[in-house]
Homo-oligomer: A and B are copies of this chain.
Amino acid sequence: MTKTNPGRFFEDYAVGDVITHAVPRTISGGERAMYHALYPARGALYSSDEFARACGLPASPVDDLITFHTVFGKTVPDVSLNAVANLGYADGRWLAPVYPGDTLTSISEVIGVKQNSNGKSGVVWVRTTGRNQHGQDVLSYVRWVMVRKRGDGAAPEAIIPELPKAVAATDLVVPAGLSFDNYDFALAGEPHRLQDYTVGEIIDHVDGVTIEEAEHMLATRLWQNTAKVHFDATNREDGKRLIYGGHVISLARALSFNGLANAQMIVALNGGAHANPCFAGDTVRAWSEVLEIEQTDAPGVGAIRLRLVATKGEAGHLRDENGKYLPDVLLDLDYWALMPV
């Protein structure tokens, strides 16, 4: 019997299956410092205990994307080891902030399967939930991937989950106690409130970062995501290491500080596409488009829905005339963030 993990194939997923993912993880100030070293992250709420307390939180939580990457990383050995492609995200919601000292685990439920017409692979939908040491859910999202079949058996009944195009503003979970009534715009870095943004507005975040191999590998390992494509230069014919898509997400989000400094907390992931692969040496820029503007019940707290695009090209350029992503585009992400009104 081989002792190593061969990964799951399409046949190994049945709707209703629940997978407990391995390796719980306690987060500390160390992960936060690493995050600040890896990305140009400057969100005040994630940088300062004092700023977070002034916003009604007990301390500065770790970046919402630390939560995402930690929860996501655990799913890789069970969900994406034999994946041909990461097809999409939907209906993601952050349900509680994560603080240094918290321990996270992940479970996934299979919610959809559909064999491809070629009979060699299929699409699997899973809802992944991250949970802290109190048994409290901190994050829940749907991901679907294309997975190789092991053999040539019959196709299972196709079950395709219904997924919202975007999380409704009324379904957003604002962290308990959060208030932006005493929000300090000078310390946060920009004066722009929710009402200063308009739907359809494009924001060029200006700055670019050239990625190094060491950086994306440090990041990806930090989330205990050990997919070999990210680490092994002998794995592809061209000798390139594919950069974990989450590295590009975090980089683009951090770059978006310049113009969106007050888009403080990510509360929902509506969708996302890793439009083209990213490699070391690429210089990544970012731009955002304002998609929706909403209020919440929390004092002074509004919600802004944003398209965040990571690109090697120009701001505002996304697709060609056929609707295909331009070759320079790396990421097209749709998310909700909280912003002072």
Chain A residues proximal to chain B, CB less than 8 Å? 1-5, 20, 22-26, 28-34, 36-44, 47-51, 60, 77, 100-101, 103, 105, 133, 186-190, 192, 196-197, 203-210, 212-215, 217-219, 221-222, 224, 226, 228, 231-235, 241, 258-261, 281, 283
Chain B residues whose C-beta falls within 8 Å of the C-beta of A28 in the assembled complex: 28-30, 32-33, 100
Tell whether, in the assembled complex, residue B221 and residue A23 are in contact, meaning their CB atoms are under 8 Å apart.
Answer: no
Shortest A97–chain B CB gap in Å is 15
Tell whether, in the assembled complex, residue A49 and residue B20 are in contact, meaning their CB atoms are under 8 Å apart.
Answer: no
Tell whether, in the assembled complex, residue B210 and residue A234 are in contact, meaning their CB atoms are under 8 Å apart.
Answer: yes
Tell whether, in the assembled complex, residue B31 and residue A48 are in contact, meaning their CB atoms are under 8 Å apart.
Answer: no
A32 to B32 Cα, complex, angstroms: 12
A304 to B217 Cα, complex, angstroms: 31
Interface centre among A188, A214, A218, A222 (most CB of B within 10 A): A214
CB within 8 A of A24: which of B50, B219, B261? Answer: B50
Tell whether, in the assembled complex, residue B188 and residue A22 are in contact, meaning their CB atoms are under 8 Å apart.
Answer: yes
Q: A4-B259, A210-B231, A258-B5 are in contact. Are A29 and B100 (CB under 8 A)?
A: yes
Can you give 30 contacting A-B residue pairs, CB < 8 Å?
A1-B196, A3-B259, A5-B258, A22-B186, A22-B188, A22-B189, A23-B44, A24-B47, A25-B48, A26-B50, A28-B29, A28-B33, A28-B100, A30-B30, A30-B32, A30-B33, A33-B33, A38-B221, A39-B221, A42-B224, A47-B224, A49-B133, A105-B187, A207-B231, A208-B231, A209-B231, A210-B213, A212-B213, A232-B283, A233-B281
